[in-house]
Amino acid sequence: MTKLLEIDNLQTHFFTSAGVVKAVDGITYDVAPGETVAVVGESGCGKSVSAMSILRLIPDPPGKVVGGSIRFDGKDLLALSDSEMRNVRGRDIGMIFQEPMTSLNPVLSIERQLTETLEHHLGSTKVEARKRALELLGLVGISEPERRLKQYPHHLSGGMRQRVMIAMSLACNPKLIIADEPTTALDVTIQAQILELMKNLTRELGVAMIIITHNLGVVARYADRVNVMYAGRIVESGTAKEIYHNPKHPYTLALLRSVPRMDQPRGAKLQPVGGQPPDLTKLDAGCSFRPRCSFAQPGCSQSRPALEEVAEGHVTACFEKASVGLGA
């Protein structure tokens, strides 16, 4: 299958007074055209940093991509000049940020924020850009688009602001959209509406998507494939069905046991993930999940397990993978 995005051994570090934070420590994955891939993990695991690395939005200093490659549609993104990369952002790769209230410019109207992208990337006239902006607001289900164009972000609800962000990400017909926790701070019913909208639009338009999330419900319903991240590394990767029903890494299993599931037996109790994530400036040679792992063995402290295939398209990094499972 042709790959739209190929990430190979990506390493993004932050050089701080406390030491080197290996926020992304050698991840490899790809995204096919029209595919939805989820990157899942706790806060601080490196999933958002990996997304910012793709767009080359890591603040330097203190952060820097120190190794690996990112190829998008045949282009090496890390080798592009700043001006060439600006042409990729917004046009070929759209971005939906976590919090639309802080992502939208509070002093610009919705119309200006939509038309600016179209004028810059596509060379649209003001009339053409305004017409397209109206189409986009209708596409994402915003009522009275003529009136909404004249409004400012503070006039809109959280759900409507996120719909505007989705419209902006789709404005130039990108090939890939990166959605970083797209339902943060929205209530549950609005979350479902936004996720369903994103799913339908990406499938109708044939757009690939990377969803950054800690919500495993999102994974089960909306993703084709899933990458589970822990301490800057991908510890398990596979189809959503495989990850959800046949986890082979203790961290994935712990995440699944910590959230309600429709297929759980009656009376099953939720189990919180014990312990705390590791200090990324003080990682040792062993498995990073070892201190929190109920399957840990003495050998887990000696070296980090590499990703190994356990089924077609399903890989995990665990020495005790044979013991891990929902029935364990």
- Mean pLDDT for the stretch of residues 221-240: 95
Average per-residue pLDDT for the chain = 91
Q: Is the pLDDT of residue 274 over 90?
A: no
- Mean pLDDT for the stretch of residues 305-315: 94
Q: What is the pLDDT of residues 121-171, one digit of tens each?
A: 999 999 999 999 999 999 888 989 999 999 999 999 888 998 999 999 999
Q: What is the pLDDT of residues 149-160, one digit of tens each?
A: 999 999 998 889
- Mean pLDDT for the stretch of residues 183-203: 83
State yes or no: cis peptide before 61, omega within 30 of 0.
Answer: yes
Closest CA to 320 of 271, 286, 285, 279: 286
Q: Are 67 and 10 in contact (CB under 8 A)?
A: yes
Q: What is the pLDDT of residues 40-81, one digit of tens each?
A: 999 999 999 999 999 999 998 999 999 999 999 999 999 999
Task: Please give the Cα distance from 285 to 295 (Å, whole number).
Answer: 18
Name every residue whose Cβ is closer than 8 Å to that of residue 94 and which is 6 or more positions away in sequence.
Answer: 168, 169, 170, 171, 172, 174, 176, 177, 178, 207
DSSP class of 270: P
| Interior angle at CA 240, CA 263 and CA 228, nearest 5 | 105
Task: Please give the Cα distance from 6 to 76 (Å, whole number).
Answer: 9
> 126-139 and 110-122 helices cross at what angle (nearest 10)?
120
Q: Are 24 and 48 in contact (CB under 8 A)?
A: no
**Greater pLDDT, 90 or 5:** 5
Residue 217: pLDDT band with limits 50, 70, 90: confident
Task: Please give the Cα distance from 84 to 77 (Å, whole number).
Answer: 9
**pLDDT value at residue 151:** 96
What domains are there in the chain, each with its CATH number? 1-92+177-260+271-327 (3.40.50.300), 101-171 (no CATH)
Question: What's at 273, amino acid-wise?
Answer: V
- Mean pLDDT for the stretch of residues 196-223: 88
**pLDDT value at residue 216:** 81
DSSP class of 235: E
Q: Is the pLDDT of residue 260 over 90?
A: no
What does residue 70 show for φ and ψ, rounded to 5 degrees? -130, 110
Residue 36: pLDDT band with limits 50, 70, 90: very high
Q: Determine the longest span between alpha carbons in the chain, in angstroms.
A: 68
Cβ count within 10 A of residue 307: 16
> 158-170 and 126-139 helices cross at what angle (nearest 10)?
130
Q: Is the pLDDT of residue 326 over 70?
A: no
